[in-house]
Amino acid sequence: MTADNKRIVLSSDHSAILLRQAIAAHIAAQGWEVVDIGPVTPESTPYPEHGAAAARRVASGDCRLGVILCGTGQGIMMAANKIKGVRCGVCADTFSARMIRQHNDANMLSIGARVVGEGLALDIVDAFLAAPFDGGRHVARVAMIGALEA
């Protein structure tokens, strides 16, 4: 995977299937290679499994970025952040979505499907995908996050 490749993993629990599919269509139309790992049926399914599965795609380098969703975005974010190398933030606004890329070099974004509507969610995803990591003084700070995993 190159640093600028446009391969992205999407996952959610049952609460966010429709929003996840809307995000998939939205970013595929922008040229992203979307790896949507489901689920596709509405039965209740535990968010830790789906967060971890998506996070492993990012941590392994199979996908450069990931977007995950559950009802609040919180539980699936917590699960994803247990996978070494993953930096995932929950965002309900576009400023935060931009800043977790610029300052924290986040490689995953989490959204609460019961928190934000589809229009805002798509804007949040766009802000996240468009923002580069600023580097500079933030490099050492991000490295400090990684050091906590040791």
Binding characters for ligand RB5, 24-53, by CB under 6 A (x = yes): -----------------------x------
13 versus 36: smaller Cβ distance to ligand RB5: 13
- Applying CB under 6 A, the span of 49-57, 69-77, 82-90, 136-144 interacting with ligand RB5 comes to 69-77
Alpha carbon 135 to its chain centroid, in Å, reads 20
Q: Which residues contact 5 (CB under 8 A, 6 or more apart)?
A: 33, 64
Active-site residue, 26 included? no
Token code pair at residue 92: 């309900």
Structure tokens given for 33: 């290679």
Structure tokens at 13: 């629990």
Q: Distances in Å between the alpha carbon of 40 and those of 21, 24, 52, 85, 108?
A: 9, 13, 17, 27, 21
The one catalytic residue in 14, 26, 103, 138 is: 103
CB nearer ligand RB5, residue 15 or residue 107: 15
103 is catalytic: yes
Within 76-115, the residues that bind ligand RB5 by CB under 6 A are none
Residues 6+ apart with CB under 8 A from 150: none
Number of shown-chain residues binding ligand RB5 (CB under 6 A) = 8
Residues within the interface to ligand RB5 (CB under 6 A) = 13, 15, 47, 70-72, 74-75
Positions marked active-site: 70, 103
